[in-house]
Structure 1
Amino acid sequence: MNSSVTYPQKDPERFRTATTLALFFSGLFLVQGVFLPYWPVWLKAQGLSAGEIGILLSLPNWIRVFADPLIAQRADRTGNRKTPMMWLAGIYVVSILAFPVSSNFWWLAALSVVIGFTFSPLLPLGTTITVHECKARQLDYGRVRLWGSLAFILASYGAGWVLDGTSVEWIVWMLFIAGIINFAITTRMPDPQTDRPLRSGSSLIYLLRKPVFLIYLGCIGFAQGSHGTYYSFASVHWESVGYSHEMIGTFWSIGVAAEIVLFAIAGRFVRGRHPGILFALGAMAGVLRWIVLGSSDNVWLIFLVQPLHAMTFGITHLAAVSFIARAIPQQLATSAQSLMATLSMGVFLGSSIWASGPLYESFGAHTYYFMAALSGIALAFSFWLMRSWRGEDQTFCD
């Protein structure tokens, strides 16, 4: 049966829930749509070197290594995910206003730490609620999630248009406005509670002792890590070779537009498909995408490979969510989401972004070749997952 988020006249409560979840991802990715393409540009305008920019961009990813698991395990134990989300979203709004106070590297580093503690955990917490509600109300996760990608496009293209007519100082104000919207939407999120207490002991240690879960983390970790140079220096590089901010926003938007199409139509394809197959498709696309971006700044080649973001990120994300939905009991779901986000977006992507600083200073766009190598490692892990896990439901139930 192909689930849908439509037909509100048949089930108004189902439609309201789907709308709220879609708005949550929209608010979250309004922030990301400004931050990912243009925050490196703002940091560069403060007079920072490529190495310093790499450190500041990687700090939130490293901080989430500690913040996400602590917050997630607490949420799993209490069953309360909405309250910490509201606190985190509110603190983020306040902290973003402090960035223009000083361009001192250590001031910016301290604030980057705060961003890591406040913004990063929102995605695993909100995704856990979303997956729970999609299961309970027979909603299509991809069709809910695509609204976040659409918001990313509007934010990245719109921010580029604004910046071409103003100055880079507007980046902070756009992040502040997006943060206010994100906070307001978070207050409307559902608040599902777990039906029974968690098993005794640490859910994080329990999951990390499972070999299949570690292989899964290798799949998503190296796949996400391969985006390090793209997230940190794509806009800086495109600006340096003469592209306007509006064109840079268009480049980013093309990739996310392809991701939206994937989320809209992939539900039937993903359902029942082994996650390892999906991981493999994303990894092969990554090898191709990063080699091309490392080889040429030609506008038509960029237009050609940017849609591969639907595979390098989109299909990989669906594979990651599908594995957790099938293999992990609900009482461990937030911990699993957190570990996945912490290690893939924290350790792997954080390390890749940090390394991209000195690599970009030395090799320029050829740094993408190192990202292609990470995609190749992700491909090897995807084959390993297919051999090690047969697709059993609730694999980690005691």
Structure 2
Amino acid sequence: MTHPLQSIPEAFHAGRPAGITSVCSAHPIVIEAALSLGRETGKTVLIEATCNQVNQDGGYTGMTPAGFRDFVEGIAARVGFDTGRLVLGGDHLGPNPWKHLPADAAMAKAEAMIAAFAQAGFTKLHLDTSMGCRAEAPALDDAQTAERAARLARVAEDNRGAVAPVYIIGTEVPVPGGAIHALQDGVVPTAPEAVRRTYDVHERAFAALGLDDAWSRVIGLVVQPGVEFGDTEVVHFDPAGAAGLTETLADRPGLVFEAHSTDYQTAESLRTLVLAGFPILKVGPWLTFALREALYGLDAAVDILDGHTPRGRLMTAMEDAMIAAPENWSGYYAGDADALWIKRHFSLSDRIRYYWPDPRARAAVEELFDRLAGRTVPATVAAQFIPGHDVRRGDTTGHALLVGAVQDVLRIYDRATDPA
């Protein structure tokens, strides 16, 4: 059975580029928005989980790969999305969650993880073994990286289901969740010679383990196309700067590039990425940023419906949650107290997304919806407080406003991945 994503490199090399949005989030409203849009468009939906987010030990979501699959499929059943058009992906699969351990122990954990992903029906697997473990250099050389990636592919092949997985290789990506340094000087794209070296060394490593069939399903290579975002800055795609990368695809007909950290790119930049050979567009923080905007706006709108000016109860609850457990933002944000206050709530890096599962945040959101129970938000009020809301949509429910805010972003990607 041919994997649905194998048509992506085929389309690019046939001169009719078409791509797919990789939705990287575990938030139920984001996933609902993606699946509802997929039901509407009839397209395949790709939802991915990272090795830190989901693994055999639970990750920071508390979900194993099978648990995440059940979670997503439960939402699909609720919104009426056909799971036959759902692709689940595992991102940065490798020893990263256990790199504090010796290499043998960390790789054993990574092998158990990728086996769990494969057994759970994840069929897009990004192999990322570039990081050093205890007593190793922070970054491994190409040969050792490729050898470890091939080991993981061997495990995935031994545990795969009826649909043979496709693989993504390469690790030269922006910092997950956005840059923590200033971006005034831009971002340097991956050198074309690095693409050739990465591809060749992985091909040899796969062949050494008898993985020729698996190698035929390596459809993507992760490179830095020259896109990035930080707290307030966005570096937009420059096709001229990435022209050398695009040229390297000419003699690799089964391969395209996967673009990470495409959040906050313009619609035209996203479209140009697809045309330039980057048709797999990963997005995460932009989706939860839009959700946070809508939640704060809905909180203000409900105050209006209650007959008084906005009081910011949800923002106050989120501030309390972030101050009580600063580990998810303190190493990423810098500045004085005023700057940190703004970044905690409004940074494009959106570190606040890690706090929505917090009991205080959950209680505040539940209280918000209790206050809204049985009421719709007048279109004029929604347009005042929900960014991008069109007054012509009419009155609507709070839940629909949240889903719609996320879908506004996803529709930008949907149009970009179908650029004809």
Same fold (TM over 0.5): no
If each structure's strand is expressed as a fraction of its own residues, which one has the higher value?
2
If each structure's helix is expressed as a fraction of its own residues, which one has the higher value?
1
- Provide the TM-score with structure 2 as the length reference: 0.22
- Provide the TM-score with structure 1 as the length reference: 0.22
